[in-house]
Amino acid sequence: MTQLQEARKGIITPEMVQAAELEGITGEELRQKIAIGEAVLPCNINHQGLRPMAVGKGLSTKVNANIGTSDAYPELAPELSKLEIAVAAGVHSIMDLSTGGDIDEIRRRIIQDSPVMVGTVPLYQVMVDTHKAGRGLVEMTDDEIFAGIEKHCRDGADFITVHCGVTLEVIQELREQGRVMDIVSRGGSFITAWMLHHQRQNPLFEQYDRLLNIALHYDVTLSLGDGLRPGCLADATDGPQIKELITLGSLVKRAQEAGVQVMVEGPGHVPLHQIETNMQLAKTLCHNAPFYVLGPLVTDVAPGYDHITSAIGGAIAASSGADFLCYVTPAEHLGLPTEEDVKEGVIAARIAAHAADLVKGIKGAWEWDLEMAKARKALDWPKQIELSIDPEKAGRMRKAKNEDSQERCTMCGKFCAYQLISDYMGTPFKGC
């Protein structure tokens, strides 16, 4: 049985117990969230060595890191290094988006080595394999699509992104309304090209029950992809995006009724003042299923700094209801991320997630900040480093900039506010 089916039967699984401990809640509290579809516990029956973590309402905001090869950089070793760096930086999930090299071997090694949940986009590999076979990218068959999906599930992927909501009706809406950037989702563009080439409905939508049966067998969580997510601020919250979201809402209910865990993916590029509305719409239309957002990025003009634009949007999105943030690295829109880009992306997204958890009142969030405040007041530098979201960087900067001062930092030196006020706060007040 899937975690959802077990939860509905009143069974608290060992995975629920482990995930609940990380949240500081009881297994029964988590079971109830999973049973009503407000949380998911992605843990494929074939992913050995997984540290189960839950995603959803009332739980700490989770962070995902995308890694994976490309045509230009097909080697496995750098991606395994990125995996290690992301996990060390505190990431909760990895997505393997490989499109170059031995994709099967890369995916299996990432799943084998990852202690956190792993997601994939099976359609990417189906497209690559079709191209390698000397056929056009849109010449893959229905059976090849579903065979590719089952292979990823069999290999241990804990969740898979599937673009089931990109239908002929949604594409017609896009054609009628128009957009600045049309479709920027790689999976969304692939499936759209396939439909227009074959003049047929999306097989992932048309044969949704076939997909559910595969996910049910391996207890794979479906991540319903946002193929029409906006790729620039000008396209945010438009008709095609919302029409797809409505479709995804109906697919959420069908998945849950079948016993399959499901979450929904969201935008994208969204201006600050529209983020809260987007989160409320998604939660309402998709029956409070966990919501997984890419960013969102709050401006289009910051290549090289998009981990920052993403963190700004991610903090607002998560504090408004998003449950899962996909990191964005400084290399977004520019190229494949380096190992350092991966770390910067993870840390930026974790900062956004924690800022949102303070708003949500997640257990332990306020306590963490309070402990840091106390350590700062006491000028307890080792404790401040220990409590930092990136202790390695904080420790390195402290050492580099304060070699001659063991008590104060070089910003204030002998004019340190903490030290000055502590010297006088204990002095009795003698009146005016």
Q: What is the CATH number of the domain that holds 323?
A: 3.20.20.540
Q: Is residue 393 located within the same domain as residue 330?
A: no
Mean pLDDT of 358-364: 97
Is residue 430 pLDDT above 80, yes or no? no
- The three-class DSSP label of residue 96 is strand
Q: How far apart are CA 368 and CA 305, in angstroms?
A: 27
Least confident of 153-162, 292-301, 417-426: 417-426
Choose among 287, 70, 292: nearest CA to 160: 292
Query: What pLDDT is attached to residue 427?
Result: 63
Task: Mark whether 337 and 394 lie in a shared domain.
Answer: no
- Are 226 and 253 in contact by the 8 Å Cβ rule? The answer is no
Question: What is the SS3 assignment for 67?
Answer: strand
Could you say which DSSP state residue 41 is in?
Answer: -
pLDDT in tens, 120-159: 999 999 999 999 999 998 999 999 999 999 999 999 999 9
Contact between 76 and 104 (Cβ < 8 Å): no
Do residues 259 and 1 touch, judged by C-beta distance below 8 A? yes
Residue 329's pLDDT is 98
Is residue 380 in a domain?
A: yes
167, 192 contact by CB (below 8 A): no
Same domain, 300 and 395: no
263 is in an annotated binding site: no
For residue 22, how many other CB atoms are within 10 A of its CB? 15
Does residue 216 sit in the same domain as residue 240? yes
Specify if 269 maps to a domain.
yes
Considering the domain boundaries, does residue 78 fall inside one?
yes
Is residue 47 a known part of a binding site?
Answer: no
Q: What's the average model confidence in pLDDT over 24-30?
A: 98
Here the tokens at position 288 are 């409070």
Shared domain check, 375 and 279: no
Any domain includes 13:
no
Q: Is 286 known as a binding-site position?
A: no
Residues 84 and 188 in one domain: yes
Query: Using 50, 70 and 90 to split pLDDT, how confident is the model at 426?
Result: low
Mean pLDDT within 184-195: 96
Whether 43 has a binding-site annotation, put simply, is no
Mean pLDDT computed over 262-287: 97
Residues 232 and 328 occupy one common structural domain: yes
DSSP per position, 99-134: -SS-HHHHHHHHHHH-SSEEEE-HHHHHHHHHHHTT
| CB-based contact 339:82 (threshold 8 Å) | yes
Rounded Cα distance between 320 and 326, Å, is: 16
Domain boundary among 328, 359, 390: 359
Question: Are 157 and 122 members of one domain?
Answer: yes
Instruction: Check: CB of residue 248 under 8 Å from CB of residue 264.
Output: yes
pLDDT at 421 over 90: no
CA–CA separation, 107 vs 102, rounded Å? Answer: 9
Of the candidates 359, 391, 417, which is a domain's last residue? 359
Does the annotation place 217 within a ligand binding site?
Answer: no
Measure the CA–CA gap between 142 and 150, rounded to whole angstroms. Answer: 13
Is residue 431 scored above 60 in pLDDT?
no
Which residues have a Cβ under 8 Å from the Cβ of 283 and sit 6 or more positions away?
289, 291, 321
Asked if residue 301 belongs to a domain, the reply is yes
Q: For residues 229 and 325, state if they share a domain.
A: yes
Strands 62-67 and 262-266, bridge-based pairing = unpaired
343 contacts: CB under 8 Å, gap ≥ 6: 85, 86, 89
Parent domain of 396: 365-425
Same-domain status, 304 and 324: yes
3-state DSSP assignment of residue 147: helix
Percent of the chain with pLDDT over 90: 91
* Residue 51 within a domain: no
Over residues 372-409, the pLDDT tens digits come to 999 999 899 999 999 999 999 999 998 887 655 567 67
Residue 333 assigned to a binding site: yes
Whether residue 220 lies inside any domain: the answer is yes
Q: Please report the pLDDT score of residue 80 as a whole number.
A: 98
Looking at the fold, whether 271 and 384 belong to one and the same domain comes out as: no
Give the mean pLDDT of the chain.
95
Question: Is 66 annotated as a binding-site member?
Answer: yes
The pLDDT-based confidence of 366 (bands split at 50, 70, 90) is very high
In the three-class reduction of DSSP (H, G, I as helix; E, B as strand; rest coil), residue 199 is classed as coil
Q: Is 124 annotated as a binding residue?
A: yes
Within 239-295, residue ranges assigned H as helices are 239-257, 272-285
* Residue 226 annotated as binding site: yes
Does 227 count as an annotated binding residue? yes
26-52 mean pLDDT = 98
Instruction: Find out whether 224 is annotated in a ligand binding site.
Output: no
> Is residue 14, in this structure, part of any structural domain at all?
no
Q: Do 340 and 369 lie in a common domain?
A: no
Ligand-binding annotation for 402, yes or no, is no
392 belongs to an annotated ligand binding site = no
Q: How many domains does the chain have?
A: 2
Compute the average pLDDT of residues 324-332: 98
Q: Which residue, of 344, 359, 374, is where some domain finishes?
A: 359
Residue 206 has pLDDT above 90, yes or no: yes
Whether omega for the bond prior to residue 268 falls within 30 degrees of 0, making it cis, is yes
**Does 314 have pLDDT greater than 60?**
yes
Q: Is 144 annotated as a binding residue?
A: no
